[in-house]
Amino acid sequence: MNVAIAKTAAEKALGERFEDVHGKLPGGDDVADVRRKAFGVLMALGLPHRRVEEWKYTDLRARLKSVGMIDPDHRASLAASKLDTALGPLADVQAVRVVLVDGVYSAELSTRELPDAIKITPLSEALAADASVLTGENALQREADESVVALNTAFATDGAVIEIATGATVAKPIMLVQVRSGDEARISATRNVVKVGAGAKVTLVEAIVSVGDASATADDGAVLNTATRISVGDGAHVTHVSSNTDRGAVHLGTWSADIGAETVYRPFYFSASPALARNQLFLTFAGEGAALDASGCFLARGREHIDNTLLIDHAVPACESRELFKGVLDDTARGIFQGKVVVRKIAQKTDGKQMAQALMLSPTCEFDSKPELEIYADDVVCGHGSTCAEIDPDLVFYFRSRGIPEATARALLMESFVGEAIEQIEDEPVADAISELARGWLNDLRADAA
């Protein structure tokens, strides 16, 4: 017997919001049909909860008590100086900027003149001409059973379609900036489509920030749902960095990637003190000889909650995957790593390894690690591991014996610990900026402890 689960206040509010705004969202009748189907999936599944295996550590249904407003006509004005302040060290990175403020493309804050090898179209403009931006090869994987992705498809107000020409080497990173502004609680849903041509080389940075007057929090129903669909052509080399320093909202981020033969794809997640963040990566090897190097750094304190969940599908032979995630947790913060690697029967000569590690600064923080290997081939080299521990007191004593104060010693050890993951970022200016952001967080932690 099936028992219907009563909808929560947040789920009911999402239904009301869709009825109010679906006619105002970008796109024609074909896009509206796609949105209605996605909304039906969302309502059928409800928000994910702990009985859904992939969400057992992040019960969004229980956490999200309310949802903010959705206004497709909202246009926030934001000074460039405020944006640079919010970006912090990333503002110094020379990059092609694509800026979305409260889920809407800002031409004023985005780079106007683009190299010939790059084509960038706002999603709202692309949808006006073609519904396939959300369907077919551009649809996110697992859309049928991912309610968070369905929510994104139903409510997406804007985003970017980014195309990199075949064989191009893009000198500057492309920085897609998502900004939360104002004091009203909002749901922002943005969708990005990235197509990297064969043999191209590019660095993509997705920066999630809030400006000083963004006072609404997760408890008020402030939610940012981002989704990026990326396809990487044969022989391409892509560095893909996410930096989340928005300390107030619930952030739900999904990357869905297909990588071709002989490609190198290097995704990196940096999450520093979000109220709640769920970073999802669904990746499929679509060509032989490809390499994935996924890594991340998560920093949380107070009641903050950071979930990194990856599903890596070795669907072809002779590919390599590496995963390295490191976190620092304090107070009652919670960090999660779920890394599942599937090796298909055809995927002989697969080489896959994963490692997740956390420093526990408090007896009340929590680290949940769930590495998984699902192997159907017999000629593979695969392994996984996970550790969590306090800072080694012998190392602290070593520093103190050389005249370094204890608080400084602990900060240096933590910086060195997460630095191993940050070093995986190949783009040096971006890596330096992420290191500075991590250092700032650790310095704040040290100052509060003093």
Identify the residue whose tokens are 């195309």. 163
Phi-psi sector, 438: left (phi>0), alpha (psi -120 to 50), beta: alpha
Chain segment 140-187, per-residue pLDDT in tens: 755 546 899 999 999 999 999 999 999 999 999 999 999 999 888 999
Give per-residue burial for 341-368: e unless 16+ CB within 10 Å, then b. Answer: bbbbeebebbebbbbbbbbbbeeebbbb
Pairing assessment for the beta strands 96-101 and 104-105 based on DSSP bridges: antiparallel
Identify which has the larger pLDDT, 218 or 374: 374
Give the CA-trace dihedral at 154, 36, 22, 48, to 10 degrees.
Answer: -40
Nearest to 420 by CA among 328, 352, 282, 301: 328
Identify the residue whose tokens are 């705004």. 21
Radius of gyration of the chain (CA): 21
Kindly give the interhelix angle for 9-21 and 29-45, rounded to the nearest 10 degrees. 170
pLDDT band at 213 (very low <50, low <70, confident <90, very high): confident
Chain segment 249-293, per-residue pLDDT in tens: 999 999 999 999 999 999 999 999 999 999 999 999 999 999 999
Q: What is the DSSP string of 356-384?
A: EEEEE-STT-EEEEEEEEEE--SSEEEEE
Res. 449: pLDDT tops 80? no
Q: What 8-state DSSP symbol labels residue 448?
A: H
Q: How far apart are CA 51 and CA 68, in angstroms?
A: 25
Chain segment 321-336, per-residue pLDDT in tens: 999 999 999 999 999 9
Cα angle, residue 256 at apex, residues 327 and 358 outer, rounded to 5°: 10
pTM of the complete model:
0.96
Q: What is the pLDDT of residue 144?
A: 47
Helix segments in 326-427, DSSP class H:
393-400, 406-422
Res. 17: pLDDT tops 60? yes
Res. 1: pLDDT tops 50? no
Residue 133, φ and ψ in degrees, nearest 5: -60, -25
Q: How far apart are CA 444 and CA 132, in angstroms?
A: 46
Q: What is the pLDDT of residue 143?
A: 52
Helix segments in 88-155, DSSP class H:
123-129, 147-155
Identify which has the larger pLDDT, 135 or 375: 375
